[in-house]
Structure 1
């Protein structure tokens, strides 16, 4: 019986899901707007809780022309509803929905 309880606890511990973040955040080009410099070229990034992270799972061009003067991420900072986890200093996005 003891082994069964320990096994059950180990299974629950190993299946623990990383805490997914769901909130409204700033979204833009990491290099042009958030002063991130660990990548070359323009890349999508989010900023929340006063910290910016490059995004994995979505591209800067998934939301239109990044250099559009009114809406491009290299030109302006926009707001979005985001969902995902921070892992290894990057935001692993499962969902991004722009707020107009």
Structure 2
């Protein structure tokens, strides 16, 4: 019973301390490949205010671009406009829009 109370208090404290993020442009990449995070496989992560978080609630990396392409999340840090909240060590996205890459200038 004591353990159940401790878990409930930690859960409630965690929920009350959730940090909301609204329409913020953040760095996004593979957490393991580009941000050095520990994980089981290549997974999308964001960097918010200098801290990295795995993302829940967004499409898989492959839905945006081949992760291993030159501009893919395993090889490049991109940017996205996101909304959601940080809960524990995860970012719970309610919106996630990849910022379009600027086209390269054509050489003459």
Query: TM-score, normalized by length of structure 1?
Result: 0.75
Matches within 5 A, 1:1-100: 20-22=20-22, 23-37=24-38, 39-58=39-58, 59-69=60-70, 71-100=71-100
Structure 2: give runs of 5+ residues left out of the alignment. Answer: 1-15, 101-108
How much does 1:19 deviate? Answer: 5.2
CA contact 2:21–2:84 (8 Å) conserved in 1: yes
Partners of 2:36 and 2:45 lie apart in 1 by 10
Q: TM-score, normalised by structure 2?
A: 0.70
CA RMSD of aligned residues (A): 1.5
Structure-2 change in CA distance of 1:19 and 1:34 (3 Å):
closer
Give structure 1 regions of 4+ aligned residues with deviation exceeding 6 angstroms. none
The number of residues matched between the two structures is 82
Q: Is the contact between residue 19 and residue 87 of structure 2 (CA under 8 Å) also seen in structure 1?
A: no
Q: CA deviation at 1:48?
A: 1.4
Deviations 1:52-83 (A, max 9, x none): 000001222221211111x2000000011011
Shift of 1:88: 2.0
- What are structure 1's unaligned runs of at least 5 residues? 1-15
